[in-house]
Amino acid sequence: MGAWLSAALVAPLVLTAGCAARQPDPRGERAPEVPAPSAEVLGLRLPTDAYLLSVDEIYDGEEAADLLTRQCMRERGFEWRLIDRPDFGDWRNRRRYGVIEPDVAKSFGYHHVPALLSPTEVYEEKHRRELALTPQEKKAATDEASGCQRRANDTLWRGIRYDDALAMRFSSKALAESAKDPRVLRAVRDWSACMRGGGHSYPTHAKAIGDARWDMAKPPSREEKAVAVQDVTCQERTGLVRTWFRVDSELQQKWIAAKPKEFQALRAAKRSFLERAEKVRENPGG
């Protein structure tokens, strides 16, 4: 219960799909815009994705919870400001295999950029809303035992058992296992040879990403970005990401097929939650 809340906290949200956002620079300077995802990224759809809530589905749940929270708060004599959540799209696998987009490599190197995976505006707006609450409003909204947010969450999830841990575990396990598959290892060797041809010696993809020369506390250096660009170029030449994605998908599908009842129940629970959230969004007072 409450899976959408935990997901929203883990992955700060939100940017309009197809638009760019400014990523804060550690020095306070204007940083490059975050590019929209490439066609390759949008094509990375893994079997377990169908059982896990996407950013947009999390937003649907949050919007429904906000509407229920507002209704509850009004009953207690308070207001609750709603937050606009635009459509985002499904970019969840954008960094699953590392930096794979030329534009991202050119601008950010190997740096972790939250807005590449999920936008930040909605998360920041929720934070501002909470900071603006009076002590009485905060207790009415967030009290763990009787708060309106808890009440809204219970309403949305009542009777629904959505245990996404199995799908998340299979997703993580498939990524780790696929990295050891002979087909992926062969592609990595080809990638490494390609990198040497460009003057960069890395035995594995992970070694390039984790090079100690990259200072993540500072903006990416020219050298880091140059290596990342070469990395992406070599991925394209060797088909590394295509091979890895194919093996990753095969493993996930195999494991899902081995537990049909569990995954059918998970899909049904997800569908029930989204249908309930949609009814609230269509008729918040009903």
Q: What single DSSP character describes residue 220?
A: P
Name the one residue in this structure whose structure tokens are 């780790």. Answer: 176
- pLDDT at site 86: 82
Burial 191-225 (b: 16+ CB within 10 A, else e): bbebbeeeebebeebeebbeeeebeeeebbeeebb
Domain range for 217 is: 3-282
CA-to-CA distance for 281 and 129, rounded, in angstroms? 20
CA-based nearest residue to 98, from 117, 83, 84: 117
CB within 8 Å of 41: residues ≥ 6 apart: 91, 93, 94, 100, 101
DSSP for residue 48: G
Cβ–Cβ < 8 Å for 22, 30: yes
Domain count of the fold of the chain: 1
Q: How far apart are CA 113 and CA 105, in angstroms?
A: 11
Q: Which residues of the chain have pLDDT under 50?
A: 1-30
Residue 192 contacts by C-beta under 8 Å, 6 or more apart in sequence?
202, 203, 204
Question: What's the pLDDT score for residue 226?
Answer: 97
Give the pLDDT of residue 31. Answer: 54
**Contact call for residues 237 and 119 (beta carbons, < 8 A):** no
pTM > 0.85: no
CA neighbours within 13 Å on the CB side: how many for 36?
A: 8
Q: Is 16 exposed, middle or buried (0-12, 13-18, 19+ CB in 10 A)?
A: middle
Nearest Cα neighbor of 40 from 82, 91, 5, 2 is 91
H or E element, residue 34 = strand 33-34
- Distance in angstroms (rounded) separating the CA atoms of residues 208 and 196: 12
- Given this model, what pLDDT does residue 251 score? 97
d(CA 210, CA 266): 36
- 152/123 Cα distance (integer angstroms): 19
Contacts of 231 (CB under 8 A, 6+ apart): 98, 99, 105, 195, 200, 205, 208
